[in-house]
Amino acid sequence: MTFFGLPFQDIVFYTLAAILLYAGLRVITTRNPVYAALYLVLAFFTAAGIWLLLQAEFLAIVLVLVYVGAVMVLFLFVVMMLDINLDRLREGFWSALPVALPVGGLMAVEMVMIVGVRNFGVDKVAAPAPHPADYSNTAELGRVLYTDYLLPFELASVVLLVAIVAAIALTLRDRKDSKSMDPAKQVLVKKADRMRIVKMQAEVTKAAATENAEEAK
C-alpha cells in the first residue's frame, strides 16, 4: 500500500519521527515543568511506536509500561505536588551559558560521529527480515544482552549502583535537620549500649491483693 509514492510504513515512520522531535524539543523549551513531563510522555509513546515498526515489541511494551506507566507518572505527581518557584529556577540560567555551549557542542559532535551517515547511511538501512512463527523477541534480546554485550551490561549495572549510593549520600548529607546515622558506629554498638534491664520491686494494690487472696481460696 502506497500513498503519494511512499510506502505506508515509511509515512508512519516519518510521522512518528516528526512528533518525537517536536515533543523532545518542547520538553526542554517549555517553561512549565508539568507540560514538560507531559511532552516527555508523548515522546515515550512515539518512540514506542517507532520500535514497533522495527519489530521490537518487547522494548516498546517495556517503554510504555515502565517509563510512561511508572516513572513518568511519579515525576508528574512530584512536580505537581512540589511548590516549584519557576522564577528562582531561572535565576543564573544565562550565567551558565559559557560552560553549557561548549559541553553541548561537544555532545552534538560525539552524537554525529556515532550516529553519522558513515555508520547508518541510507545504503545500510534495510527492512527487518521476516521471522518464523516461534520467534521470541524477548528471548533474542536476552541472548544478545547476556552474550555479546555482557560486559557493557555489567558496567551499566555498576554505574546505576554508584548512582543509587550517591543519591542516598546526597540525601543524608550533614544538615541541621538531618537525622542520619553513621553505619560504622551502628556496627560497633553492643547490646549493653542499647538496652538496660532495670529490676523493680513489684507493687500490688490492696484491691488486687484482696482479689488474689479470694482466688487463692
List pLDDT tens digits, range 147-186. Answer: 888 998 899 999 999 999 988 887 766 666 666 677 787 7
pLDDT at 22 over 90: yes
Q: Which of 60-64, 95-99, 126-130 has the lowest mean pLDDT?
A: 126-130
Each domain of the chain, given as residue ranges in start order, spans 1-91, 137-175
Q: What integer best gives the mean pLDDT of the chain?
A: 78
Burial of 59 per CB tally in 10 Å (0-12, 13-18, 19+): middle
* The pLDDT value given to residue 46: 92
Cell of 43: 515522546
pTM of the full structure? 0.55
pLDDT at 132 over 90: no
* Percent residues over pLDDT 70 in the chain: 75
Burial of 75 per CB tally in 10 Å (0-12, 13-18, 19+): middle
- Listed residue (52, 54, 43, 55) closest to 17, CA to CA: 43
CATH 1.20.120.1200 fits 1-91, yes or no: yes
pLDDT band at 212 (very low <50, low <70, confident <90, very high): low
Task: Give, rounded to a whole angstrom, the gap between the first and last alpha carbons of the chain.
Answer: 101
Q: Is pLDDT larger for residue 71 or for residue 89? A: 71
Half-sphere exposure of 200 (CA within 13 A, CB side): 6
* Sign of the C-alpha dihedral computed for residues 76, 80, 84 and 90 taken in this order: positive
Beta bridge partners of 7: 2
* The pLDDT value given to residue 116: 65
pLDDT at 140 over 60: yes
* The pLDDT value given to residue 159: 94
In this prediction, residues 90-95 reach a mean pLDDT of: 70
Contacts of 60 (CB under 8 A, 6+ apart): 48, 49, 51, 52
* The pLDDT value given to residue 173: 66
In this prediction, residues 18-41 reach a mean pLDDT of: 87
